[in-house]
Structure 1
């Protein structure tokens, strides 16, 4: 199984080749034919620029990141460290160590982080004290974590979507989902994942486990987010696609240049954040990637 870090360190040249192929590929969405916008019509975001800025450097090689409402980023590392950095002042510290070969992370908004590792362990970490609690184990490589209410959702290399209660109770919601490095809960009882091996964008009903393919034919899709407009956003290489999950229409909305293997997370204002492991390791902000409506 290829690790999350290896996907993030693909060369820019290879990304460019596959990006060109994606632009020429029709979007096949839930049995409907949605047509991709032409390359000339896709807005280009250049990094660095006034709309794409480097916030922090010297971060090393973070695997995943989560962001709170207080301008803090929480970064996971393969050496088992969970670190935090303030996006305004650049102040940074280590929250906890010894967390395993870390992958995905999610915050609950009340002082805890939930982190998954490559060996299938899901832990809760108190962000104030660094104390950790093992919630579940044996789940397979956990590349993607989401938190909603009192429930954690996790997926990754096993192809399964897990529901883990804060009490530690584990339920397999669905299987056969492939390798996803992103997960997004839509607030309507569903979770979106992206199978990097087959190019499927999937929606799973979190109650019944029923899964449907929302879109196909995307090369290694990443960065699943559901924005406040109810649309699903993800990346293929450096191209960002907006997908209407109800109509099945996908539209490329941006081509991000200057960042290697673009993978992002959205905040409530439509800004995108991404970490880069090239150089000394940096964290970037793309303002208004999702236009406000």
Structure 2
């Protein structure tokens, strides 16, 4: 399917530049629900905003920096998405089209490839990175060589991306999940999901998205296209991950929450304070990776799922 659009780049790029990243407009719980819709517009327009001052830590919060929250890449700039490979590296995607690799053992930050377009999401699986762009293109990058190929193009602006089995899935600005099977063509799995910047799968192949506009955590059966609401929130959820414990983790302002998909029971995990964190990605170890504002770098939160 082909749809025309003007793709505007966000003012985000790789290290060594002064950067401002779209993030929360107001501190912690004082934000209005309409911020989610404003964020969607900003993602398209490329506008910047001033971030609110981090909140003061309370007992049980994750304070950055601390032994629980360590900055592991001070010069990482402001990637639009990060993805641990669970094998000693984290991959960082930038809106300027660069894909970088951070070696967790040495701290070395290397370029995998450049010129990928106006990037929004990254997922890593089986030696490849799967990249979404605001230009409506889904690409596969071979991590060992940096070579790339286009899996689908001419789609609506894409955001979240995930792999399950032999299919790559992505969320778009039309509130859809799009499936692109290996060697096949793109098809719409489901609609009506609102604005979700992320996408995650559990071991059973159920997909999870966070609707920032209405404030819902959604579960979708990608085989049937049916969707159900797992949780509703008064403030926009920005991040979505499935932990090794099978629970669904998401971020609401500075707060990290989790929900049991089987029971629907939600619980508070922690607040992240000291940095303006917008979203996080979980590794199988239970550690989380998140970015601060501007050139604040990449941070690792140890054992997030065990809190």
TM-score (norm 2): 0.82
Out of 212, 216, 226, the residue aligned to residue 228 of structure 2 is: 212
Q: How do 1:52-67 and structure 2 match up within 5 A?
A: 52-67=69-84
Distance 2:11 2:280 in 1: 15
Structure 2 counterpart of 1:151, from 167, 170, 175: 167
Indicate which of 17, 22, 27 corresponds to 1:15. Answer: 27
Cα separation, partners in 2 of 1:98 and 1:195, compared to 1, 3 Å: same
Rounded to whole Å, the distance in 1 between the matches of 2:11 and 2:66 is: 26
Q: Separation in 2 of the partners of 1:17 and 1:234? A: 15
Matched, 1:72 2:78: no
Q: Secondary structure at the match of 2:30?
A: helix
Answer yes or no: is the 8 Å Cα contact 2:29–2:235 preserved in 1: no
Residue 241 of structure 2 corresponds to which residue in structure 1?
A: 225
Q: In the TM superposition, what is the alpha-carbon distance from 1:115 to its structure 2 partner?
A: 0.1
2:61 counterpart residue number? 44
CA distance in 2, matches of 1:218, 1:226: 21
The match for 1:122 is 138
In 1, distance between residues paired with 2:154 and 2:241? 26
Paired residues of 2:239 and 2:280 also in contact (CA < 8 A): yes
For 1:53-109, what per-residue CA distance to the aligned partner results, in whole angstroms no more than 9, with x for missing partners? 11111122211011112321111111111111212212122111111100101111x
| Contact 1:123 1:134 survives alignment (8 Å) | yes
Of 174, 189, 194, which residue of structure 2 is paired with 1:173? Answer: 189
Query: Any gaps of 5 or more consecutive residues in structure 1?
Result: 22-39
1:291 maps to what in 2? 306
Q: By how many angstroms is 1:240 displaced?
A: 0.6
State the superposition RMSD in angstroms: 2.5
Query: TM-score when scaled to structure 1?
Result: 0.85
| Alpha-carbon contact 1:62-1:281 (below 8 Å) kept | no
- What secondary structure sits across from 1:241 in the alignment? strand
State how far apart, in whole Å, the 2-side matches of 1:91 and 1:41 are.
34
Q: Which of 181, 189, 198 is the aligned partner of 1:182? A: 198
User: What CA distance in whole angstroms lies between the structure 1 residues aligned with 2:270 and 2:146?
Assistant: 38
Distance change >3 Å, CA 273–CA 247, structure 1 → 2: same
1:139-166 C-alpha deviation (Å, 9 max, x unpaired): 2222110012211110032211011112
**Bigger strand fraction:** 1
Deviant stretches of 4+, over 2 Å: 1-11, 15-21, 40-43
Question: In the TM superposition, what is the alpha-carbon distance from 1:268 to its structure 2 partner?
Answer: 1.2
Question: Secondary structure at the residue paired with 1:290?
Answer: helix
- Length, aligned pairs only: 271
